[in-house]
Structure 1
Amino acid sequence: MTFRIDAHLARQLSERARSRRVSQTEVLEAALASMLTPDQEERVEAVLTKRLDRISRQLERLEWHVELSNEAFAIFVRFWLTSNAPLPDEAMRAAQATGKKRYQAFVESLARRMEAGPKLREEVEG
């Protein structure tokens, strides 16, 4: 049989066949078989259910990590506020200059850790 298909679809077909290392005929046959199978709706539902389950697990992990971050930050702030007395006005300018340098070092350290690790998650779950 000979069929004519849109140029865009022909490119997609060619790319899919190349990426899967199969012939274009095999890709077309699989697509037609899938489309003509009566239980197509059930397969689509199964695929969607599987994807939704995966997304749900990812969201649960994300929620756990956000909660961990919030708790760690809250503990740090509480500790810092209770262990550091306010500075007198005459020492404030020097403290601010030192604070800027320390903050820059913190940001650089954070960037290195985000790139290379180890991550807090690994230390906590470790």
Structure 2
Amino acid sequence: MKRPRRKQQITVYLDPSLAEILGDLATRRRQSQSMLVETALAAFLSPEDGKGEGALNRRLERLDRRMGRMERDIGINVETLALFIRFWLLTTPPLPEPTAAAARAQASARYEQFIETLARHLSTGHRLHQDLGREEPPS
């Protein structure tokens, strides 16, 4: 009679935080760490059952939608900046030389104030463009 084949032992090195998560999960489920790793590895390596492949496809679709939104947002930002620069150049007359130096000094101070305001606003985590791009939920 043939002996059943034994499982093969391998050695795997895990990040300490991942090893702790695995240990906690094994304790909660009352299963061995080896069984949990074997199950997870089997699911990862055999997408034929549809579970692994479906999850991967959903992630890829989500990433694709995010990339699409990012491309749209970057396009809007570039177009907005280009239109603003064109408008500013068309409507702002050059300054006479005697007042140009004072205007440059004032512009420098105003620019520094703008940078400080921008830094404060960005540190809050709220973005103005999010308010502009909010879509109303369909009724």
> TM-score under structure 2 normalisation?
0.68
CA RMSD of aligned residues (A): 3.3
* 1:84 counterpart (82, 92, 101): 92
Segments of 4+ in structure 1 off by > 6 A?
A: none
Structure 1: stretches of 5+ with no match in the other structure: none
* 2:76 counterpart (48, 68, 74): 68
Map of 2:128 onto structure 1: 120
Letter paired with 1:40: S
Map of 2:11 onto structure 1: 6
**How far is the alpha carbon of 1:94 from its aligned partner?**
1.1
Change (3 A) 1:74 1:10: closer
Bigger relative contact order, structure 1 or 2 (CA pairs below 8 A, ≥6 apart) = 1
1:94-123: CA deviation from partner (whole Å, max 9, x where unpaired):
111111111111111111221225422222
Map of 2:3 onto structure 1: none
Change (3 A) 1:93 1:22: same
Select the structure that is richer in helix.
1
Structure 2 residue 22 is matched with structure 1 residue 16: yes
**How far is the alpha carbon of 1:23 from its aligned partner?**
4.7
**How far is the alpha carbon of 1:56 from its aligned partner?**
0.5
> TM-score under structure 1 normalisation?
0.74
Number of residue pairs the alignment of both structures matches: 125
Structure 2: stretches of 5+ with no match in the other structure: 1-5, 135-139
* 1:59 counterpart (67, 78, 93): 67
1:73-113: CA deviation from partner (whole Å, max 9, x where unpaired):
12221221122101122222111111111111111111122
CA distance in structure 2 between the partners assigned to 1:54 and 1:71 by the alignment: 26
* 1:28 counterpart (24, 34, 40): 34
Change (3 A) 1:111 1:46: same
Change (3 A) 1:78 1:21: farther
Retained in 2: the 8 A contact 1:13–1:24?
Answer: no
Retained in 1: the 8 A contact 2:26–2:36?
Answer: no
Secondary structure of 2:28 counterpart: coil
Retained in 2: the 8 A contact 1:16–1:27?
Answer: yes
Letter paired with 2:84: F
Secondary structure of 1:109 counterpart: helix
